[in-house]
Structure 1
Amino acid sequence: MSLLRILLLEDDRELRATLASALRVEGYELLCAASLAEARALLIHAEPADLILLDLGLPDGDGAELLAQLRHDKSTPVLIISAREQDAHKVQLLDAGADDYLVKPFSISELLARMRVALRHRGVHTRPAQTLYEQQGLRVDLAAHSVSLNGADIHLTPTEFKLLARLVRNAGQVLTHRTLLAEVWGPEFVEHTHYLRLYMGQLRAKLEATPADPQRLLTEPGVGYRLVEGGG
């Protein structure tokens, strides 16, 4: 199961970083651009986006230009994110093909809900990602980027955390070797199963009472790995 890919076009560096971080926690893959030129290059050269978050006031033009271009040849959902709040302007862009229009500032929860609606209208059904996991003393809070075991903080490397986060978001489900390798290391690493064995071993050493007999991070022989379902 691949991650949904979001193209975020926002020239405010701080807001772009905040939104990208929040969306990654929710399980989305991010393509980020700060200008129309960068966004157009990504649309040409990168893998297709499943949804586009589009700011309007950009250093090299107006986001409405890109909306017109997209609607000429693509049906990708487009959500406008802008500080402009005039009703006439909103109506104009919605009539031009935008799926929704959010006025800054907005909450992450509202953005996520609007994204789910836009994707659902295109036949893509999503559900809120699991970002908090608790099971027999293990607590993983993806939003807070924290992991604790029996109340004690556990330090994970960035790669270990990224791997654990992918398992948390799909707790109870088997994720294949190829899926984990592609989404943690990149599609060029799908044959490097030794990376996965090494890092799963490191996670088990930190999170399992008996790493050689894991009770949380389970192996599905010949298929992949599964984190046992949480529930307190």
Structure 2
Amino acid sequence: MTHLLLVEDDEVIRDAVQAVLVRYGYHVSTAPDGLTGLETFHEERPDLLLLDVMLPDLDGIGLCRRVRETSLVPILMMSARGDGLDVVSGLEAGADDYIVKPVESAVLVARIRALLRRASFPPQTPLTGEAGRPGSADAGSVLTFGDVEINPDALEVRRAGQPVALTPTELRLLLEFAANPGIVLERGVLLRNVWEHAWDGDSRVVDLHVQRLRVKIGAEHIETVRGFGYKLRR
């Protein structure tokens, strides 16, 4: 049974969300504040974290950062405001996605399922081409983009020979770029293919993840095409 950790200080919301998720077949642990949530995370090692932004003792942003120091577990942030500060801060802290409260049960579960699928491998994005050529891959081959090497079978990324630690969402995003080298990918396309949002959604999710990916693999590898989207340089 998939294990979720819900960190929410409002008891009514916490109990209601837990009941919904249990009804959908998840095992759900809960915590009423950030410090308890961090302790529960280290003790129980859940498969996904669902964090409220506004928490006592240690807020959701700080909790997200602390978790990211040691883990690549999927993280979904919840915000009652949905303003730019919450969204940007949560994504910069390492969250994979965010959702604005109140939210319909079916929408919440759909977003959780999408996150869990992104964390499960092998990915579904096909990588085709002639083995050994830069920006191409066959079974058992490695894609090369400058000093970045991507092994889609081993799910390993190296930069200048050193391993790069990517979250599942970051890795999916990089594989989506690698499957389309030199091709401009619109933000809506990336939202649908990587985040599995059926709607175009908030492009800040894409922008912040591209920003994080650039820090890890080198800004020179991903080019911004203003007014359109991004592309991976061959």
Q: TM-score, normalised by structure 2?
A: 0.50
- The structure with more radius of gyration: 1
